[in-house]
Amino acid sequence: MKKRVLTLLAATLLGTTALHAQVQQPANDTISPTDTLQTVQTDSLHAAIDDTVYRLKDYKFAAGLKFGFNGGLVRLTDESYDMYKRGLAPGAIIRGYFQWRTAFGLSLVPEVGYVGRGGLLTWEDVSCKQLVHCLDVRLAVRYNFDIKDKGLSPYVVVAPVWNVALGGKVDYSDDLSGDINFKMTDKNIRTHDFGLFAGAGIEFPVTIKETKLNISAEAGYCWGFMNSFTDTEQNATGNVLNQYYDSRPAAGKRLARGLEISISIGMPFGKREKQNTIKEETKCEEEQK
């Protein structure tokens, strides 16, 4: 009987020791749910920055195309034209661009391409619409604002503009003469115009099948500084509004204006060396714990 009691006592002690060893097993042999969640979040952050939504400032350069609409306006400064109402004459925008982007948001963006400028003047039954085909050359200075943890980047832009008139047409009509159409030449439009564009937009990076793209939408206004009346018009040997019924000298100035709305699509290149952004974010999270 005594031997049986000793045997049971030894078995109980061995079982208790084994259970205590399991409870006291080192914690570093297991992964807690909190550690797993932190690992997944860090991996997701790496993927978002490196592969899916890259940061615009990670690349030094970009090149692409801009497409849009220009609502052309004409401003006549002399009061003798005050009876005419101004309207928009639609024209296309097609330009190529190259962008050099700094790491702190400032960019230089030269652009070269086509823009349709002009304007619409109406008075009672008289309608005169001008459309001038122009070579458009500009050097934009742009500043992008960062939105934390977002791919979207709003920006402001200003650009000196040089336009070269390549031709165009005038569509004139009134109740007496009907429709009259004629071409614009160096006799009724000056070849060169200099102006200034100012606007704002929003830019965002996308990745489509591992191809990185910069897409932006922009709106702004362009002021022409040069008088587009030619010497022929100012000497009363040509026309101002139409070539048959308006032979008086052009008075004041005719200035080009335009409301521009466009969309750009470009490809970034020239990647900068990665900064320790992710390490710094992880370090801040650890310090807050």
Which of 232, 222, 233, 230 is closest to 256 using CA atoms? 222
Tokens of 170: 């005038």
Q: What is the pLDDT of residues 106-129, one digit of tens each?
A: 999 999 999 999 999 998 888 999
Report the alpha-carbon distance of residue 135 to residue 281 in Å, rounded: 48
Domains of the chain (ranges; CATH) run 2-46 (no CATH), 54-272 (2.40.160.20)
pLDDT value at residue 286: 59
pTM for this model (two decimals): 0.74
pLDDT tens-place string over residues 158-216:
999 999 999 999 998 888 888 988 898 888 899 999 999 999 999 999 999 889 999 99
Q: Could you tell me the two tokens for 201? A: 């937009």
The secondary element (H helix, E strand) that includes residue 280 is helix 277-288
pLDDT digits (tens, 9 = 90+) for 238-282: 556 654 555 578 888 999 999 999 999 999 999 887 654 444 445
Which residue's entry shows tokens 């102006």?
Answer: 195
In sequence order, which residues have a C-beta less than 8 Å from that of residue 169 and are 6 or more positions away? Answer: 130, 131, 181, 182, 183, 184
